[in-house]
Amino acid sequence: MNKTELVAAIAEKTGLTKKAAEQALTATFAAIADAMAQGEKVQVVGFGTFETKTREARTFRTPGSDTPVEAPETRLPAFKASRLLKEKVAK
């Protein structure tokens, strides 16, 4: 399912127009992204938790030349599905 199909499904389930459903979906994604960018955790009960994880700095070697390269510490987005979502998907 892509964004267009998701917007259509939201519009159908809620009775909103596709334009209103798209605005709501875009605003939801923006709010989640903004909160995560500030280091906040976003919990949606029954769905899951969006958060950021920190990957520590590390050294790796490039293939072929075997030259060591330093990778800096980075923050990455992460999602942990709730128990209810896991159960629904498993059925």
pLDDT digit string, tens, across residues 6-40: 999 999 999 999 999 999 999 999 999 999 999 99
Q: Is 76 in a helix, a strand, or coil?
A: strand
Amino acid letter, residue 8: A
Q: Write out pLDDT tens, residues 43-71.
A: 999 999 999 999 999 998 888 888 898 99
Looking at residue 64, its pLDDT comes to 84
Q: Where are the alpha helices (DSSP H) in the chain?
A: 3-14, 18-37, 83-90
Looking at residue 66, its pLDDT comes to 83
**Phi and psi at residue 69, to the nearest 5°:** -130, 135
Please enumerate in sequence order all residues whose Cβ is within 8 A of that of 75, keeping only pairs 6 or more positions apart, or say none: 39, 52, 53, 54, 55
67/74 Cα distance (integer angstroms): 21
Q: Which pTM does this prediction carry?
A: 0.81
**Which domains are seen in the chain, by residue range?**
3-90 (4.10.520.10)
